[in-house]
Amino acid sequence: MFDATTILAYRSDDLAVIGGDGQVTFGNTVLKNNAVKIRKLYKDQILAGFAGSTADAFNLFEMFEGHLEAKKGDLLKAAVEFSKAWRKDKYLRRLEAMMIVLNRENIFILSGNGDVVEPEDGKIAAIGSGGNYALSSAKALDRHAKLSPEELVKESLMIAGELCIYTNQNIRLLTI
């Protein structure tokens, strides 16, 4: 895993939520505290988050949205086609980057290795340097607390921000 950011996504029966911290680092220096690393795609029906460099994020979001358009918003088909294209591109596949994409029905982690991974529980996924902290917190809160999906994602990212030096507590959330 690379030192990039923290993105956490959660899918409940009726909502999909994604959150990300705002920290951008260069080595051991914080360059920015309020970056936006999540966005809505395809007619605001898909949520996406990115861990990696900012320039790469813009290119990969645009590329993924093209696949969503071609597949008329079918998240699974678009994710598979996108991952194949990402892996085949000799420059893009070398990126140290990952994405989470989700809607109310599906959630996937995507990488330049061609990975399209659905979390085992089908509802919680995290990427980035603080991803394991956020994921652990989200699983515990999901099992033992009565929080809304938005509260669960925000609180889990806040906990990750307490533990990971590459994650801050300037949290942004998107919900569909």
Cα distances (Å, whole numbers) of residue 163 to 25, 34, 35 = 16, 18, 19
5 catalytic, yes or no? yes
Angle subtended by helix axes 131-144 and 149-163, to nearest 10: 140
Out of 5, 54, 167, 175, which one is annotated catalytic? 5
- Write the CB contacts of 44 (distance below 8 Å, at least 6 apart in sequence): 176
What are the b/e assignments for 48-76, b being 16+ CB within 10 Å?
bbbbbbeebbeebbeebbebbeebeebbe
Catalytic positions: 5
